[in-house]
Structure 1
């Protein structure tokens, strides 16, 4: 025997109200997050994306994109350099270590080597060699 109960119809106006409530909740949630957490989360996202683009992921042949990696590493280096005085030494040290790792991986993956000090992010960090 089949159930013949009609499906509830969604009201587009309710969906818009729900989206507004979700946005308001997200705004309240972000207001409760410490700046250090926002900064480190952004840095970790940049670091993860850069690692994939330099070939440090599961399928490097399909994922390497050094042009994109250079942009991500430059952004990451700028963020870490600017944020280091604002975050604890523990956070800054870990982020710098990760940055150095992707900078070295970039150098290793490049067929045409940048001059020392001219690689991605090195204007902020100095030469990684």
Structure 2
């Protein structure tokens, strides 16, 4: 039997390090469900039904959350910090936000840019040898971050 992709997103409000990233930690999941054996509740929707703005925003928040963890902003920074991975995630996020801003509108883009700036600054703070201004992750898309 073939499966199909579904998408569900549930906001989970938390404090601690996530407060520095727009005050919340979204918990989203992608599922591949067997159409016969798995039932899908109201929380999950067929990916074809998800508006592009919502999908772009959710993917951005996933990148933002992963970058925050890799910058050491999670509960176990000693075990989860990986600045090489954080650099990739932040650069991808910066490119996505920059490219998608005209499509998703200023309201959505502004919040994402704020989160991006937060992880860029967290990356700089976590770095033993900070990058030169304009050379940090994503700064080729955003310009220097102070």
Per the TM superposition, whether the score is higher than 0.5 is yes
2:54 corresponds to which residue? 37
2:84 corresponds to which residue? 67
- Give CA deviations for 1:61-83 in whole Å, capped at 9, x if unaligned: 11110000000000000000000
**Pick from 111, 126, 140: which aligns with 1:94?**
111
- Name the larger-Rg structure: 1
Task: Report the alpha carbon displacement of residue 26 of structure 1 after superposing the two structures with TM.
Answer: 3.9
**Whole-angstrom distance in 2 between the partners of 1:111 and 1:96:** 25
- Give CA deviations for 1:37-91 in whole Å, capped at 9, x if unaligned: 1100110000000000001101111111000000000000000000000002111
1:7 corresponds to which residue? none
Gaps of at least 5 residues in structure 2 are 8-44
**Pick from 136, 141, 144: which aligns with 1:119?**
136
RMSD, aligned α-carbons: 1.5
Task: Report the alpha carbon displacement of residue 31 of structure 1 after superposing the two structures with TM.
Answer: 1.4
TM-score by length of 2: 0.71
**Whole-angstrom distance in 1 between the partners of 2:90 and 2:112:** 12
Between Structure 1 and Structure 2, the one with more helix by share is 1
**Whole-angstrom distance in 1 between the partners of 2:119 and 2:138:** 10
**Whole-angstrom distance in 2 between the partners of 1:32 and 1:123:** 34
1:109 corresponds to which residue? 126
Between Structure 1 and Structure 2, the one with more strand by share is 2
Task: Report the alpha carbon displacement of residue 96 of structure 1 after superposing the two structures with TM.
Answer: 0.1
Gaps of at least 5 residues in structure 1 are 1-16
**Whole-angstrom distance in 2 between the partners of 1:117 and 1:26:** 39
Secondary structure in 2 matching 1:74: helix
**Whole-angstrom distance in 1 between the partners of 2:101 and 2:56:** 10
Task: Report the alpha carbon displacement of residue 29 of structure 1 after superposing the two structures with TM.
Answer: 1.3
**Pick from 93, 98, 104: which aligns with 1:81?**
98
